[in-house]
Chain A
Amino acid sequence: MTGSETVTLAIVLGSLVLAVLCFFWRRKLVQKLNAQEEPDKKTKRKKLWATILMVAMGWLFATQLLTFLFGPAEGEGLHVEIAASRVELLGFSVSSTVITTWIAMGGILLGALAIRLFLIPRMKDQPRGLQNVLEIAVESVSKYTDEKSGHLGENLAAYIFSVATLMIGCAVIELFGVRAPTADITMTFAMALITFILINYYGIKKKGVGGRIKSLADPTPVVLPLRMISDIAVPVSLACRLFGNMLGGMIVMDLLYSAMGNLAVGVPSLVGLYFNAFHPLIQAYIFVTLTLTFINEAVE
């Protein structure tokens, strides 16, 4: 074994021993704290130190174990592609995000089938557990759609719920290391195109084709070309917003992983809590809100 490997092995064993010792020390402090009526500050501060030292030694153990087993990380550059890689499928050349979307859709469909087969026959009047969660989700989306454009029927609320579930499913798929499907301009453009079709469908259903064109020429007919261009800008901006946000999150996480190399054990999951869990939810909310706002604007 070379010199640096010996040092790494020493750090691995030393940090493991220290972590176990800190764990037992912390447990003794917690027992002492529970035995007192009012916990005193000195013991609390010692427990804080024990926790910090235990977590730090655990992190050091994990990273040095990785370095010992797999060698130091090669310093490769960061490669980012805007368009996803393409695969061959039955003579067509499709993006790899199509396959990922099918996997997400399959997961969601299996979950829905399981809920339909096992949960719905057993629903009670007083909900508890999973039925409660399901009722809260469906009711909040339904109420949100109703307060924006309730007079258009319930099918719109069902479509909005499925679009939001698909976006959340894509965010969950990203946790497994593959490229998120919403980080592909073709997928977000397809979703924005559906929004565009819905806007025009509801507008034409309410006002007729002539009425819709006349509503675009509202104050004076001079603004008709400008309003048409800004109508086309709506799905383009929806697609670009979702794509840019998801791509930016993916680039930041890739940068973090490639910069930390072998030290990326616990820290990326904290950063990923924002970029992979919270940010896609906000973007799904924005997409849904803007869809409903534009549909409402086309109908009134």
Chain B
Amino acid sequence: MNIGLVAIGAALCLLSCAAAGLSMGLATGKAVDAVARQPEASGKINSILLLGLALTESTAIYGFVSALIMMFTLGA
């Protein structure tokens, strides 16, 4: 299979990172707003934020792993 097409396919896989970055930035902004509104709850907000960020980042990781598998099993 043509290595150029495989490379384009792998690059298309990684567009999910843009969506993940955007959503994680929005979530962190809301978390900062919430802590500014009520600083005593910052421990709970911190743990909820970390959990949400890790779950959202996993979609970017799915794209990355798919691109890697594409490059290494389809490429010559």
Contact = CB atoms under 8 A, between A and B. Distances in A.
B72 A244 contact: no
A243 B65 contact: yes
Interface of A: 80-82, 237, 240-241, 243-245, 247-248, 282-283, 285-286, 289-290, 293
A241 B61 contact: yes
Q: Is the interface of B mostly helix, strand, loop or mixed?
A: helix
B50 A248 contact: no
A244 B54 contact: no
A81 B54 CA distance: 25
B50 A240 contact: no
A240 B65 contact: yes
A241 B55 CA distance: 9
Interface residues of B, number: 13
A286 B52 CA distance: 10
Interface string B58-72: 100110110011001
B51 interface: yes
A82 B72 CA distance: 8
Nearest to B73: A82
Given A81-B72, A82-B68, A286 B51 contact: yes
A285 B68 contact: no
A82 B51 CA distance: 27
Contacts of A285: 50
A240 B61 contact: yes
B29 to A, nearest CB: 20
A40 to B, nearest CB: 39
Contacts of B51: 286, 289-290, 293
Contact of B62 (A240, A283, A293): A240
A244 B69 contact: no
A179 B65 CA distance: 17
B54 A286 contact: yes
